[in-house]
């Protein structure tokens, strides 16, 4: 079992990613760290605890950053996609479980140091927690197994601006700091996540199972699919952004990658937060990550659906 840390801003697709990671026998979830993004960090923590309670999982939830490293440019809200509560307006009760008293960046440092060269960190939110961890403990760069980042759009349009993807846009400086740190990264961007669409018919299968977990996930995912349909008319499903990052950590063969040098645009008026990949035949710099450019969506979806509920 591969030890993983999942860094989330729960969020509907985050909730699906958590359920997938808890149920997949290939990985051992050491902890779920939370960050601002789709919702505030407090709401992300609350939603994460609720999902884990439905999973009957005692995996620790460790709250992290409430704001970006340097500048707050965007409101922590994506209510049009994830609902007022971040989980498709399904929130009726609070989890009885409590979050850890630790701070997410410290948890990341402790786990990586205690299991050198073993831990995969999967970030599916703003990259602030990981940036803070590296700033405080640069040695973890050489001690992680790898980092799988759901973020960016190297070869296609963004989703919050014409060029920027939400997780990178939420804290561009944090993302760029991590990209430049030398930590081994696989970038799972919109390039591939927009190819993994979940249609309503699969959600109906969860609904038919009639468990507390399957009903919760079905209710929030139907909201998410409706939001996608509003945003991208005719798309026929929702993007499985965060679950695909977990899928790539489980089985890198789900995707085809290319080593590229990628940095984040930090001062572009129209392109703030854009992930700029050097796609030239003779790039000026060595690659700093593997960028996913193709995905075997059918194989990934089959695995995801067999584990998520
Ligand atoms: O752009 C998609 C990403 O932004 C996902 O992680 C989603 O949960 C939001 O955080
Ligand atoms: Ca997310």
Question: DSSP secondary structure string, 145-178?
Answer: SEEEEE---SSS--SSSSS--HHHHHSHHHHHHH
Residue 241 annotated as catalytic: yes
Q: What is the pTM of this model?
A: 0.97
**Residue 265 beta carbon below 6 angstroms from any ligand 1 atom:** no
- 195-239 pLDDT, tens digit per residue, is 999 999 999 999 999 999 999 999 999 999 999 999 999 999 999
Residue-number span of the structural domain to which 97 is assigned: 2-307
Question: Comparing 66-75, 194-203, 241-250, 289-298, which segment has the lowest mean pLDDT?
Answer: 66-75
Q: Which atom of ligand 1 is nearest to the CA of 9?
A: 10
The yes-or-no answer on residue 9 being catalytic is yes
**Residue pLDDT, tens place only, 252-299:** 999 999 999 999 999 988 999 999 999 999 999 999 999 999 999 999
The one-character DSSP state at 199 is P
Q: Rounded to an integer, what distance in angstroms lies between the CA atom of residue 186 and that of residue 66?
A: 25
Residue 118 makes CB contacts below 8 A (sequence gap 6+) with: 2, 3, 145
CATH number of the domain where residue 33 is located: 3.90.245.10
Residue 74, pLDDT score: 62
Instruction: Tell me, in angstroms, the distance from the centre of ligand 2 to residue 18's CA.
Output: 10
Residue 77: pLDDT above 90? no
Given 54, 82, 163, 241, the catalytic residue: 241
Please count the structural domains in the chain.
Answer: 1
Kindly tell me if the per-residue pLDDT of 75 is higher than 80: no
Residues 309 and 305: their CA atoms lie apart, in Å, by 7
Listed residues: CB within 5 A of ion ligand 2: 9, 11, 14, 124-125, 242
| Residue listed under structure tokens 């939110």 | 125
Decide: 52 and 91 in contact? Cβ < 8 Å.
no
Q: List, for residues 90-145, the tens digit of each pLDDT value.
A: 998 888 899 999 999 999 999 999 999 999 999 999 999 999 999 999 999 999 99
pLDDT at 243 over 90: yes
pLDDT of residue 142: 98
Report the distance separating Cα 91 and Cα 112, nearest Å: 33
């Amino acid at each position: 079992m591969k030890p993983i840390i999942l860094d989330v801003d729960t969020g509907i697709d985050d909730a699906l990613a958590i359920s997938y990671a808890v149920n997949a026998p290939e990985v051992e979830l050491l902890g779920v760290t939370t960050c601002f993004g789709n919702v505030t960090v407090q709401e992300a923590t609350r939603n994460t605890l609720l999902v884990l309670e439905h999973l009957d999982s005692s995996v620790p939830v460790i709250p992290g950053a409430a704001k970006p490293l340097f500048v707050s440019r965007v409101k922590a809200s994506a209510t049009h996609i994830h609902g007022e509560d971040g989980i498709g307006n399904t929130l009726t009760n609070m989890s009885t479980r409590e979050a850890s008293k630790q701070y997410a960046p410290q948890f990341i440092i402790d786990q990586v140091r205690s299991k050198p060269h073993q831990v995969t960190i999967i970030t599916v939110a703003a990259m602030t927690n990981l940036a803070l961890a590296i700033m405080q403990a640069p040695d973890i760069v050489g001690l992680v197994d790898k980092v799988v980042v759901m973020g960016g759009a190297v070869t296609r349009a963004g989703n919050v601006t014409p060029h920027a993807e939400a997780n990178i846009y939420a804290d561009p400086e944090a993302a760029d700091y991590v990209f430049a740190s030398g930590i081994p990264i696989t970038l799972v961007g919109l390039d591939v996540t927009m190819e993994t669409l979940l249609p309503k018919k699969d959600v109906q299968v969860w609904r038919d199972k009639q468990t507390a977990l399957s009903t919760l996930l079905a209710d929030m995912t139907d909201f998410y699919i409706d939001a996608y349909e509003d945003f991208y008319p005719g798309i026929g499903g929702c993007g499985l952004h965060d679950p695909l990052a977990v899928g790539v950590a489980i089985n890198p063969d789900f995707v085809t990658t290319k080593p590229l040098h990628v940095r984040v645009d930090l001062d572009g008026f129209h392109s703030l937060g854009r992930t700029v990949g050097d796609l030239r035949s003779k790039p000026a710099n060595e690659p700093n990550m593997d960028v996913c450019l193709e995905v075997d969506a059918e194989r990934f979806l089959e695995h995801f659906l067999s584990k998520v509920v």
